Amino acid sequence: MIDKKELVDKIENTELERIPGDKDVWEKHIYLNDDKVLIVGYEEEATFNQDPEEETVKNYYWYWELRDSRTWAILFEDHDKIFSFCESEMGIYSDQERMEDVVGNIDEAEVCSWSKKDLIEDISEDITDKVLEWLTLPKK
């Protein structure tokens, strides 16, 4: 079985890829031993915009799933929306670096939901602890 330090490293350093579809979803696929794959991603939960030509603010939440890599069946999942973050875009400008609370005319404090831990580096150990627990449990 994979050890905690190695799994934390994989969660933090595996590249996110955009998943095709209508929603803004990004995932990392981390293949583990015993035909299992860990999926760590974030999904758009809500979008706020006063004018499509102006600023758009999006709320996202992190999730993770343990799947059978052969059948893609979900073995365990966490979509509890405990870890969330918000991004703002206005034309070519964004607050992805989280330097300002207001990029355009929308006050993000009124529409955004941030958890105390919102970056992957902040939550990788929480994810790892849960996944290692799942790996010791019998399948659903």
pTM of the predicted model as reported, rounded to 2 decimal places: 0.81
- What mean pLDDT do residues 8-18 have? 97
How many independent structural domains does the chain possess?
Answer: 1
The tens digit of pLDDT for each residue in 15-61 reads 999 999 988 999 999 999 889 999 999 999 988 776 666 777 888 99
CA distances from 135 to 6, 11, 26, 79, 88 (A): 15, 16, 24, 18, 37
Q: What is the pLDDT of residue 99?
A: 35
Domain interval for residue 12? 4-136
* Residue 93 pLDDT class (50, 70, 90 cuts): low
The tens digit of pLDDT for each residue in 100-123 reads 444 455 555 566 766 777 789 999
